[in-house]
Amino acid sequence: MTERANGRPDARRAQVRRHRRERQIVVFGVLVIALAFTGVFAAGVYKGDIDGPFSQPFVTPVGEFESDVTLVCPPVNSTPMLHRNVGVRVLNGSDVSGLAGSVSSVLDERNYVIVTTANWGRTYAGNVRIVFGPDGVRQAYTVAQNFDGDVDMVLDNREGTLVDIVLGEEYQSANLRSTLAPELDPDLILTANAECLPVGLITPEPAPRSLPANPVDEKKKQDS
C-alpha cells in the first residue's frame, strides 16, 4: 500500500511507456528513411541512371535502341492539317516529262503551298517517296493521304516542315486520289500502313545540302 500510495509503480509504468514510444519513433524513422532510399534507388534504376542488381535492364538506355523499323508513326490521334499550312516541293524522279508540274497543279488546287517543282536528279523506281524532317511528320502524313499505292515515308534530318514529294517510275495519274476518296476525309485519324516507331526512335537520313525556303515556316517565325 505504501508503494502504491507513493506512486512508484505508476512511475515505473510511465517510464516503460516512454521508452516504448521512443523505440517506436526510432523504428518508424528508420523505416521511413529506408523506404525513401529504396524509392530513389528504384527510380534511378528504372531511368537507367543507376546500375541495378539485375543483369537485364528495365529499360533500354537512350542510344542503345536497335530496330529494323524505319517508318515514323504519325502523332497520336492526329488528323490531317489544313492544307494551307503544309508546304511541299514536288520532284520528278521518273523519265516522264512534266510529271512534277501536273501533280503540283492538282495539289495547288487543294490549297497546299507549292514551294517549287523540279527534277529529282536521279531516278526513283517506286511509286511515291515522301521525305520530311522531325518537325514535319504530321504534314507528311497529311500529304501521303493524297496518293494511292505504295508510298515510301522517309525521315531525314532537315529543319523545318517542308515535305518533299518524289514521283517515281511506277507513279500513274490514277494514283493521285480524288478529293472524294474516303482516305481524304479531314476528320480521319492519321495512321501508318506498317509497323512504325515514334520519331525520336528513328535514325534520320542525311537531308539535302540545301532546301528552298518554306513560306509556311517563314510565316510561323514572323507570327511568333
Question: Mind listing the pLDDT tens digit for each residue in 113-172?
Answer: 999 999 998 999 999 999 999 999 999 999 999 999 999 999 999 999 999 999 999 999
One domain for residues 178 and 111: yes
Q: Which of 181, 96, 196, 113 is nearest to 147 (CA)?
A: 181
CA distances to 18, 25, 108, 111, 132 from 217, rounded to whole Å, are: 73, 63, 18, 16, 14
* Residue 52 in domain: no
Total domains present in the chain: 2
The pLDDT value given to residue 47: 55
* Residue 38 in domain: yes
Q: Could you tell me the three cell numbers for 56?
A: 537485364
What separation, in Å, do the N-terminal and C-terminal C-alpha atoms of the chain show?
A: 90
Question: Mind listing the pLDDT tens digit for each residue in 195-212?
Answer: 999 999 999 999 999 999
pLDDT over 70, % of the chain = 83
The pLDDT value given to residue 48: 55
| Full residue range of the structural domain in which residue 30 is found | 2-47
